[in-house]
Amino acid sequence: MEKYLEKEIAWAGFEFRVPAEWDIRSHSVSCLSGSLALVDRRRHRLELIWRRCDEKPDLNLSYSDLKGRVKNDTMNGEVFGVKSIPGWLAFEAQMDEETVVVYALCWRRESGRIFQVTVVTRDEDHFSRQGLLETILAGFSDSGWEGRSVRWKAFGIDCASPPGWRLVSTSVNPMDVKMQFQPFSKKGEKTEKTQTSVHRLGMADTWFSGDPKAFLRGKEPGLDLEFEGIYYNGHEAVAARAQAERRLILRLFGRGRIRRELVWLCEPMNSLFRVYTVSPENEGADPQDFAVRCGHTYEGKSSANPVS
C-alpha cells in the first residue's frame, strides 16, 4: 500500500501521505482550526478537519456523536467499526451500493488539537479500503506549531516558516502559487511591517528568459536592487537587496524597510522560485530563513558563496 501514497502533504504542523493523484481542492491557513479537502479527477476523496481544544476532549463522546450524525445519511442506517488503528477511533458507513466512507478521530497532545479524517472509497478503487485507511492514519504526524518551525508542503512548494511566523494567505492558480507569511507577537498580533512571500511560477520554459536579474528588475522597476550570485538548494541563484521605501523621509525617521529577494530556476519542476522578505532594517528577515525546497533534497541553510 505504501507505494500508492506517493504524495506527501505538510500543513499547519501536521504531515501525512496520500495517493499521487489526490490534490488539495480547498484549504484553511489557521493552525488553530480549519480543514483540508482533497479530490481526484472524479470525486471528493478526503477531508481533514482540525480544532484546538482548551482541555483534553472526551474522544469517546465525540466519536459517539459523530456516529449518530452519520447514521442518518447511510444507505441502511448503520455504521460499522473498523480494525483498531493505534491512536485513532474509526468506523465506516455504506453510503450507496458502491461508496463506503470511513471516519476517524484522534486527539494529539503535542498541539492540543482534535482531528477528524473522512476518506471516501469506491468498489472500483485499485487499493483496499482498510489498507488505505491504515496507511494514511499510521503515517499521520502532528508536531504542533507554537514556538517552533512549521513545514508547509503543498502545491509544489515545500518550505518551513520560522518560529513565530504564520501563513496568513495563499493564492493558488494553475502553475502560479504564492504563500504569504507574517510574524506574530506572543499576544497573537500581526507585525504588519514585516512579511515574506514564497512564490512558484510554473511553465518557466515558455516565458522565462533565463536571466533572474532581468526578471527582478521587471517586477520591481522602481527599486535600486543590489545583486549577488549564490548557490541555493543545489541551484545557481540570485539574491538581491534594496530599500523598500522610495520616500527618503520614511528612512530618515527610522521607518525604512529592506526588501530581500532570492530567485532560482528549478529545471526538474520547470518552475521559477521567488522568495522575498520586507522588514524593518533592524529585523533582517531573510528569504533563506524559510528553507524553501524544490526538486532537490538539502539540509539547512544554503551556501552564500558567490557564483563565478
Q: What pLDDT score was predicted for residue 195?
A: 93
Please indicate, yes or no, if residue 133 is contained in any of the structural domains: yes
Residues 136 and 169 in one domain: no
Give the residue from 88, 107, 142 where a domain finishes.
142
Helix (H, G, I), strand (E, B) or coil at 82: coil
Give kind and range of the element (H or E) at residue 268: none
Residues 178 and 268 in one domain: yes
Please indicate, yes or no, if residue 205 is contained in any of the structural domains: yes
Contact 238, 227 (CB under 8 A): yes
Residues 118 and 167 in one domain: no
Cα–Cα distance, 197 to 189 (Å, whole number): 19
Cα–Cα distance, 170 to 181 (Å, whole number): 9
Residues 137 and 11 in one domain: yes
Cα–Cα distance, 10 to 196 (Å, whole number): 19
Q: What pLDDT score was predicted for residue 185?
A: 74
Q: What range does the domain containing 51 cover?
A: 2-142
Please indicate, yes or no, if residue 150 is contained in any of the structural domains: no
Give the residue from 115, 142, 169 where a domain finishes.
142
Residues 226 and 280 in one domain: yes
Residues 281 and 161 in one domain: yes
Please indicate, yes or no, if residue 169 is contained in any of the structural domains: yes
Residues 281 and 170 in one domain: yes
Give pTM, 2 decimals: 0.88
Cα–Cα distance, 183 to 284 (Å, whole number): 13
Side-chain-side CA neighbours of 102 within 13 Å: the count stands at: 23
Q: Which cell numbers hold the place of 289? A: 530563513
Q: What pLDDT score was predicted for residue 301?
A: 42
Please indicate, yes or no, if residue 115 is contained in any of the structural domains: yes
Give the number of other Cβ atoms within 10 Å of residue 302's Cβ: 19
Residues 14 and 73 in one domain: yes
Residues 127 and 24 in one domain: yes
Residue with cell 526578471: 215
Q: How many domains does the chain have?
A: 2
Can you list the residues of the chain whose pLDDT is less than 50?
Answer: 1, 248-253, 296-308
Please indicate, yes or no, if residue 306 is contained in any of the structural domains: no
Residues 108 and 236 in one domain: no
Helix (H, G, I), strand (E, B) or coil at 71: helix
Q: What pLDDT score was predicted for residue 177?
A: 96
Q: What pLDDT score was predicted for residue 42?
A: 87
pLDDT tens track for 259-286: 999 999 999 999 999 999 999 877 778 9
Residues 8 and 135 in one domain: yes
Please indicate, yes or no, if residue 148 is contained in any of the structural domains: no
CATH number at residue 91: 3.40.1000.10
Backbone phi and psi for residue 210, each to the nearest 5 degrees, phi listed first:
95, 0
Cα R_g (the chain), whole angstroms: 23
Residues 122 and 191 in one domain: no
Give the residue from 86, 119, 142 where a domain finishes.
142
